[in-house]
Chain A
């Protein structure tokens, strides 16, 4: 069996060994064996931390054809592709035929015999994956610090080199070929080329070569503006129907950065006489750019193992919570005390308003846990009105920073008129390039979307702006985003925690509206919040982070007796004054009660929690009444 280093550094060797063995023994299950082998290896204690991650390590430090991992979101799904699963190669000198395996590779060996009867065509699926949008800095750091992979810059890395001509490349290939011993076939030259491309890419404005000169730098299509990190084309070999758009996962796969993959490189070489290749005109230039971007910029990853991320909190084991429930039992016991601390922290942030702090806490652990026909259950959009405007954007910004420190991923959308009119919120299909242009609403589950409505001023919304506002409204009311496919729309369910900070009641609908009643008026808002932020030790913050993720994933039920009590309560309330509580009110009351229970670490509704929920709801309503809305619009 290959040694530890081998399965990380040269996974293709493992694959080929198993492929070879299967040919002799006519055992067809080699593909299952490969995935099982890697799964077993990764299961071993801490083994996964030895695999370098594309998220932390710059691409040019990684060895081509080695095993890497990537924490990502599926942004787009390309068409399935057919590849040579197995093929014969013919040595031109000896005429000897060798059967090769094409799985987990992009490029074949030299001398493919296209007419061989041994050729097996197989199918695989390509996903365009981007790093999880809005991932908080603390999550990134935490993951990076746990990763124990020693990253050694590849041998041919020469940082001083800027860019090279095509001829240089060829020579380099010649030079390095004999040295490429340990790695599979063209490993080292590929690295060199990747390096070359990578360097030139970073200076694309300098127009490295003909084709690239004319085209703008490739848009990596991240959902949120200002995101960094590699995008990746993940090739999936099995079970691709189980993946869904916007799924988050950690992918373990074989990194492929062969320069031959870059579509642009081979465009200029079609000069040989009178070739009317039917494949040439099939795709537009844009489409080629998008579907075959330079491998140095968008590496290919041949997936061997995936780990679905139920949450993206590095402090918790990534597996589903049930498995590790025992180890977390202690945390569960602490929930009540952590809750109290967190509540105190929020109260401080919200200028001494305990009620608002309580609702903020409930909001942060909300999660769409089910859908009844069209109604998403468990969503809890909070509208925090009365944000002090005198302090300018400082207050809402600082509040966002504080939240970002607690949740795994968050995004602050400043609802300025300009943003509303110009930003692309809803993903749209670009038929020319044949890809899904991402939008800010293409977010992973449980991302906190922080809408800053204090930034909105009077003015004209153009049609795009109206569409954006409608899209936000849809996310809040139905937790769905209608992706624009030009000829039709397609509905994708979302699970986004929307928090709206506004001065008056928001123009967007919300499940719950709390008007902030500051108890303290610090003279210098910035300094006040700043000190509140820095006062929290990192271990304290980690406790909060753990608490929020835990509370969100707890189970919940309502016993028969409590159901009865709730019913009675409802009937009684209606008896006194039918106007006082409607079906919708009961809905939101039940929602609040559920979140309240979860926040206390209880998994069943108690009558205490019920009356507490009723109490805070009454308090909240009494606040918003004086400025309640009278326009008769349904929320």
Chain B
């Protein structure tokens, strides 16, 4: 195995000594004191040094852990041959003096500095170390490999520099590369960025490395602890060659990410130990900051002579004798001048999506170091790239038998939040990669079939019989429209989600449909209107009992961001709860002003709601609004409103009975097949949602305009408005969703046709005026059909006329007036209508109502 030692580099973790900090951060003299080009300082592990630098044969064994060529620059305070020199001398900030602008201090990398130090002992004791030493004596150093690996430092460095200088990724889609020129070497631009911004961290996508040089990638994954410092060295050489004048806080550190080795916590196994891995998960707990001592500072109580000792494997070898005055046991640890680095324990848990059914999620301990501390919070979804470690556990320090179990953890090298990207509306890279080539192929084949739309809609909730159009509507909802951003023109985000309301008789399997959808989509929420309050839907503020920190707890709507929120018993929701939905359903955001926290959360969720009629049974003589008693302001925000009614027809009954009976005797295998379909459907939707972003074609645009104008015309003939811009928007969304079903990048006329058909079907069901039989959109937009409004006006006019005719009696009884009016009119007038008419007159200040008496205003 490889060499050992904590890495090198200047330790600037948390210099508690002010003078040290000043030196490091500002004063050039301090920088000048480095030996050798800075890059070497970072590389204690590498046996690259020319043999001539070797101080004496005794040092051979430590060769791999410390760069020997630095030795002769070292301040004389430490005796080279003393056992204290075990640590890496190069790690001093106040290293050796040197001239030149490249003296940027290296920064220690505790993420690489391993716990694997036990191997170090080997290196000295096992004869095999001699091989390495022998190899090191070859002047060329070319055939030299790091002990225990097949990594040759010089080759590796060269390869990596070539990668940095040459790698071009014209197809890059990552957001962070958006402002870079895709035809220029990507990482050289990033270096330039570093020289300007001064943030000395270079993130390297392992995918790029592997496509550029598979061998280099293999080495990186297998021996990260050796290869990453080599990368560091390489990148620093390159950087300071190119930007000799730039001043960085510390040397550039390479942070690889996206190692394809492992994606799932569950698949980690002993073979991954000490390898570079990437896993995804959710942070469940973070510890307090742990200051970890990197270097102890001792001072002699007699002569004030000071000594520094590196922490090795968690131990400090306390010097027993002061080398200056030879007093024994006179050295005392000075905490203030010791060097510490930040460390934090983070616990991550498997993301719920990655888990097999019926098992509990696994957790893994992760250590974050230095500037990665406090980068993540509990609840964050993250991708972690790091080195997997296993440490044997000692049962008792005084006993020699060991518990035969290892403790495992990951030293983080790179964090990547997955939900952060959602903020920018970017596609989840994570999700994209879930599809294998073969899977994509099957999906594409399926999409190419002419009847894909019908196939998918029938695969949706197969246990629920019929209701084809409703299933089609829900299918389109699952796909959603294309997200458009009009924020530049001041309009903000344009809603891409389709909202659907199902209303109808109890027992028409609305709830089952909702449950099915909830189980189908990855980010779905299911809530019942009866059980949820406004708080449960939106977000609430909670005090964490441990930290006393105020935390924003998100409710169903926020949790289903980018997913579907299924709300059952929509009609039983309280008014205050419903009012929250107004903002969500059009603006797709959620504003919170509570306990001093004012914020706007994204809630780009589609809503699938189910409502029961007020009178337990749907009354076909009433309008939708009257049946479900929901405010029209809310109803108009639904793109599609479907009625689920019992069709009461013999052929239907027969088919339904057959369908249900078959449920009861179909064998397990047949059921399995259905389940397979669900998996395909899931993938199909996920794929379409992340890859397909259809745009309107010219013809489709024309078709939409025509459709809209046509809809407007229908109404205008009868003196009513039959379509509003909202309906046009709905049509566009539906057409886009339909194009997604076909995996088409263009919305074409057939998409518009289907959108029109579906929209019309839904309207026919929900917006038909029961009095006239015409579809009347104003039922949904204003809550009253045009004919009903006309009727109301007529009655009001008649009432007014009647009252005017008998001005002599300014006071009259309610019931009497009602009877009189009924007698006068040729059509039946209900009490409700009469009351409405009275109220209208009252609003006109024509009369006043007090209790059961009506008084004419004078």
Contact = CB atoms under 8 A, between A and B. Distances in A.
* Real binding pair: yes
A470 B12 CA distance: 55
Most buried by B among A115, A269, A272, A275: A115
Interface string B259-292: 0000000001110010000000010110100101
B208 interface: no
Contact of A632 (B403, B463, B615): B615
Contact of B531 (A81, A115, A466): A466
Contact of A260 (B361, B395, B616): B395
B285 A583 contact: no
Most buried by B among A82, A83, A110: A82
A281 interface: yes
Contacts of A370: 666, 668, 671
Nearest to B115: A278
Given A260-B396, A278-B115, A574-B653, A557 B363 contact: no
Interface in B333-381: 345, 347, 349, 352, 355-365, 367, 378-379
Nearest to A584: B507
A466 B528 CA distance: 12
Contact of B661 (A486, A567, A630): A567
Interface string A219-246: 0000000000000000000000101111
A245 B406 contact: no
A632 B506 CA distance: 7
Contacts of B405: 81-83, 106
A383 to B, nearest CB: 17
A281 B345 contact: yes
A282 B345 contact: yes
B409 interface: yes
A49 to B, nearest CB: 31
Contacts of B648: 574, 578
A594 interface: yes
Interface string B394-432: 011111111111111100000000000000000000000
B314 A278 contact: yes
Contact of B650 (A246, A274, A575): A575
B292 A106 contact: no
B393 A279 contact: yes
A374 to B, nearest CB: 4
A107 interface: yes
Contact of B290 (A265, A273, A281, A478): A281
Interface in B616-653: 616, 646, 648, 650, 653
Contacts of B657: 566-567, 570-571, 586
B120 to A, nearest CB: 10
A121 B390 contact: yes
A563 B658 contact: yes
A114 B392 contact: yes
Interface stretch (A402-410, A488-496, A510-518): A488-496
Interface string A97-126: 000001001111111101100000111000
B441 interface: no
Contacts of A591: 664
A488 B408 CA distance: 25
B660 interface: yes
A121 B650 contact: no
A108 B395 CA distance: 10
B515 A374 contact: yes
Contacts of B406: 81-84, 121
Contacts of A488: 282, 352, 559
Given A266-B395, A372-B674, A431-B347, A110 B515 contact: no
B316 interface: yes
A199 interface: no
Contacts of A416: none
A457 interface: no
Given A82-B405, A278-B391, A121 B365 contact: no
B653 A570 contact: yes
Interface string A413-452: 0000000000000000101101010000000000000000
Contacts of A617: none
A168 interface: no
A373 B122 contact: no
B438 interface: no
Given A115-B119, A632-B612, A634-B511, A282 B365 contact: yes
Contacts of A374: 463, 512, 515-516, 519
A578 B649 CA distance: 9
Given A82-B408, A466-B531, A570-B657, A492 B512 contact: no
B509 interface: yes
A285 interface: no
B269 A123 contact: yes
A82 to B, nearest CB: 4
B461 to A, nearest CB: 6
Interface in A20-75: none
A380 B512 CA distance: 17
Contacts of A79: 362-364
A624 to B, nearest CB: 16
B658 A110 contact: no
A510 to B, nearest CB: 15
B665 interface: yes
A277 B314 CA distance: 6
A276 B293 contact: yes
A401 interface: no
A111 B399 CA distance: 10
Given A270-B397, A279-B391, A586-B660, A436 B360 contact: yes
A157 interface: no
Nearest to A630: B616
Contact of B379 (A487, A558, A586, A587): A487
Interface string B121-156: 110001000000000000000000000000000000
A279 B407 contact: yes
B511 A567 contact: no
Contacts of B664: 377, 556, 558, 590-591, 594
Given A123-B269, A281-B287, A106 B461 contact: no
B465 interface: yes
A490 B658 contact: no
A139 interface: no
B678 interface: yes
Nearest to B392: A114
Nearest to B663: A372
A431 B284 contact: yes
Most buried by B among A261, A269, A279: A279
A109 B290 contact: no
Contacts of A566: 657, 661
B316 A274 contact: yes
A478 B358 contact: no
Given A277-B314, A278-B391, A578-B646, A110 B401 contact: yes
A260 B379 contact: no
A490 B352 contact: yes
Nearest to A377: B663
Contacts of B270: 82, 121-123
Nearest to B381: A487
A574 B360 CA distance: 47
A80 interface: yes
Most buried by A among B115, B402, B462: B402
Interface of B: 115, 118-119, 121-122, 126, 268-270, 273, 282, 284-285, 287, 290, 292-293, 311, 314-316, 318, 345, 347, 349, 352, 355-365, 367, 378-379, 390-393, 395-409, 461-463, 465, 506-509, 511-512, 515-516, 519, 528, 531, 559, 612, 615-616, 646, 648, 650, 653-654, 656-658, 660-666, 668, 671, 674, 678
Given A273-B318, A490-B355, 4 more contacts: A81-B405, A276-B311, A432-B285, A632-B616
Closest 5 CB pairs of A and B: A632-B616, A244-B358, A570-B657, A276-B314, A121-B270
11 contacts: A84-B406, A276-B311, A276-B314, A277-B314, A374-B516, A432-B285, A566-B657, A574-B648, A574-B653, A583-B660, A594-B664
